[in-house]
């Protein structure tokens, strides 16, 4: 197995009976799941479903109340080797509005200990990918909301993560830009990056290789968009989601 080349046939993430409670409130009920690498894996669910909680558990920012989560064939979340391999784009803004696009990327690259020359070359590449080369010297406060989302995505790509954790990266983004972001994600995936993405948009879930329906901290569906649609004998993924929600209410 080789986690760096992505040639391992095991998993990128493994959850074994993971539970997360906050002061007695269960945000994530007992969850077991294996996520293979090199795919776009979507988490779809309404507000409060536990999507961000799951991503934060994977980053190691919070720890499971019970159960075990391992990454890249056995690494602990939050360990230095796991952190070096992930890029996390949080739901809220986590970069510096008074720094330029390039300065934000320099900051993140240096934080990951990248060597200066390699970092500069990499920043040029990432700016091309997110199509902000012409705006590299603009401070974020002067960019549009969609450009800021792209800059934020750029900062997560600088250190060439193996796994991207993207929490609603297209929230507030116009439909044309949303398609562009998805083209970028698909390209990154084709190049070997694994992507775990949360969304409220069924159309985005439809673009994923595999989707998990999450509701009130429980998985209520898991499969490819086609499998889920077939399983619920629905016309499309949206109807499948509604049917999964109903079925779960009956149980």
Ligand X SMILES: Nc1ncnc2c1ncn2[C@@H]1O[C@H](COP(=O)(O)OP(=O)(O)OP(=O)(O)O)[C@@H](O)[C@H]1O
Nearer to ligand X, 27 or 127 (CB): 27
- The smaller minimum CB distance to Mg ion, of residues 52 and 65, is found at 52
Tokens linked to 120: 């500069």
Q: Which of 22, 93, 121, 230 binds ligand X (CB under 6 A)?
A: 22
Scanning residues 68 to 97, which ones bind ligand X (CB under 6 A)? Answer: 91
Q: Minimum distance from CB of 53 to ligand X (Å)?
A: 3
Q: CA-CA distance, 210 to 195, in Å (whole number)?
A: 11
Site track for ligand X across 117-156, x = CB under 6 A = ----------------------------------------
Cα–Cα distances (Å) from 33 to 36, 90, 135, 155, 211, in that order, read 10, 22, 41, 29, 12
Contacts with ligand X: how many residues (CB under 6 A)?
A: 12
3-class secondary-structure state, position 26: strand
- Exactly one of 52, 65, 129, 224 binds Mg ion (CB under 5 A); that residue is 52
Q: Is 103 exposed, middle or buried (0-12, 13-18, 19+ CB in 10 A)?
A: middle
Closest distance to ligand X from the beta carbon of 60 (Å) = 15
Contacts of 14 (CB under 8 A, 6+ apart): 33, 34, 35, 69, 70, 71
Say how far apart CA 230 and CA 241 lie, in whole Å: 12
Yes or no: say if 166 and 131 are a contact pair by the CB < 8 Å rule: no
233 binds ligand X (CB under 6 A): no
In the complex, least distance from residue 117 CB atom to Mg ion, rounded to whole angstroms:
37
What torsion, rounded to 10 degrees, do the Cα atoms 29, 30, 36, 39 define?
A: -10
Q: Which residues contact 181 (CB under 8 A, 6 or more apart)?
A: 149, 150, 153, 169, 170, 173
Of the pair 20, 162, the CB lying nearest ligand X is at 20
Q: Which residue's CB is nearer to ligand X, number 65 or number 133? A: 65
In terms of CB distance, is 127 or 152 closer to Mg ion? 152
The footprint of Mg ion on this chain (CB under 5 A) covers a number of residues equal to 3
Restricting to residues 27-66, name those near ligand X by CB under 6 A. Answer: 27, 45, 47-53
Do residues 40 and 193 lie in contact, with contact meaning Cβ atoms separated by under 8 Å? Answer: no
What is the Cα 136 distance to its own chain's centre? 24
CB of 80 to Mg ion, least distance (A): 26
Contact segment (CB under 5 A) with Mg ion among 23-31, 72-80, 90-98, 150-158 equals 90-98
Q: Which stretch binds Mg ion (CB under 5 A): 24-32, 49-57, 186-194, 199-207?
A: 49-57
Binding site for Mg ion (CB under 5 A): 51-52, 91
């Amino acid at each position: 197995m080789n986690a760096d080349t992505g040639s391992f046939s095991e998993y990128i993430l493994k959850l074994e009976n993971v539970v997360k409670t906050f002061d007695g409130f269960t945000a994530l009920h007992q969850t077991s799941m294996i996520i293979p690498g090199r795919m776009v894996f979507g988490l779809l669910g309404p507000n409060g479903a536990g999507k961000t909680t799951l991503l934060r558990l994977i980053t190691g920012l919070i720890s499971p109340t019970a159960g075990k989560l391992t990454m890249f064939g056995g690494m602990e979340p939050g360990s230095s080797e796991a952190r070096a391999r992930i890029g996390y784009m949080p739901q809220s803004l986590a970069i510096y509005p008074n720094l330029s696009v390039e300065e934000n990327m320099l900051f993140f690259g240096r934080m990951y200990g990248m060597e200066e020359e390699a970092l500069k070359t990499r920043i040029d590449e990432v700016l091309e990918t997110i199509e902000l080369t012409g705006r590299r010297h603009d401070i974020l406060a002067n960019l549009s909301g969609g450009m800021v989302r792209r800059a934020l995505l750029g900062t997560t790509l600088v250190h060439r993560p193996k796994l991207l954790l993207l929490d609603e990266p297209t929230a507030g983004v116009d439909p044309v830009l949303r398609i562009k972001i998805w083209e970028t994600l698909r390209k990154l995936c084709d190049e070997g990056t694994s992507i775990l993405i949360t969304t409220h948009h069924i159309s985005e879930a439809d673009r994923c290789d595999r989707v998990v329906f999450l509701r009130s901290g429980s998985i209520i569906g898991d499969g490819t968009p086609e499998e889920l649609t077939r399983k619920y004998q629905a016309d499309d993924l949206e109807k499948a989601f509604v049917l999964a929600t109903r079925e779960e209410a009956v149980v």
